[in-house]
């Protein structure tokens, strides 16, 4: 976009928002088609132990793939999972929009 008529978009609207301490980071992972998956594998509702362990491991794997290891708290509701992170040196200057895009 260098030297184009749309350069004003980059200068005016593309701002860098940083997440800095003492803010916290909460990540939500949605279980797409988890209901069909549960029926296919005949999970006992509402809290099948194997299903809960599977969801825990999947969520941990997704976050660890992105380099997030310091989970302070996690909880699930229906087909969603949320994590709260502690801020460490490597997370202090993360851009909030990159979290939304990358996870």
Residue-level pLDDT at 63: 74
71-to-14, 34, 37, 96 alpha-carbon distances in Å: 30, 23, 26, 17
Residue-level pLDDT at 92: 44
- The residues pairing with 73 across neighbouring beta strands, listed in sequence order, are 84
Residue-level pLDDT at 8: 73
pLDDT beneath 70, residues of the chain = 1-3, 14-25, 27, 29, 46, 72, 79, 83, 85-103
Residues 6+ apart with CB under 8 A from 97: 17
Residue-level pLDDT at 87: 57
pTM beyond cutoff 0.75: no
């Amino acid at each position: 976009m260098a030297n184009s008529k749309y350069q004003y978009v980059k200068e005016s609207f593309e701002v860098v928002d940083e997440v800095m301490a003492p803010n916290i980071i909460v990540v939500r992972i949605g279980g797409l088609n988890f209901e069909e998956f549960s029926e296919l594998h005949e999970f006992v509702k509402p809290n099948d132990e194997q299903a809960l362990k599977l969801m825990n491991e999947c969520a941990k794997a997704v976050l660890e793939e992105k380099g997030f290891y310091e989970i302070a708290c996690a909880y699930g509701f229906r087909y969603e999972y949320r994590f709260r992170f502690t801020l460490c040196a490597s997370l202090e200057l993360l851009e909030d929009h990159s979290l939304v895009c990358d996870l």
